[in-house]
Amino acid sequence: MTVTAVRKDPETLTMTLDAGFDASPERVWQLWADPRQLERWWGPPTYPATVTAHDLRSGGRVDYHMTGAEGDQPHGYWEILEADAPHRLVFRDGFADADGRPNSDMPINEVRVMITAVGGGQTRMSIESVFPDAAAMEQLLAMGMEEGLTLAVGQIDSILAEDTTASTTGR
Binding site for other proteins (CB under 8 A): 1-3, 6, 8-15, 17, 19, 21-23, 27-28, 31, 37, 40-42, 44, 125, 127, 129, 131-134, 137-138, 140-141, 145, 149, 153, 155-156
User: Helix, strand or coil for residue 85?
Assistant: coil
Distance CA 113, CA 31 (A): 12
For the chain, the maximum distance between any two Cα atoms, rounded to a whole number of angstroms, is 53
Please give the backbone phi and psi of residue 31, each rounded to the nearest 5 degrees, phi first: -60, -30
For other proteins, which is the closer residue by CB, 72 or 111? 111
Q: How far is the CB of 44 from other proteins (least distance, A)?
A: 6
- ∠ CA 122-124-125, nearest 5°, is 140
Distance from first CA to last CA of the chain, Å, rounded? Answer: 40
**Which CB sits closer to other proteins, 5 or 53?**
5
**Shortest Å, Cβ 99 to other proteins:** 26
Tell the smallest beta-carbon distance from residue 15 to other proteins (Å): 6
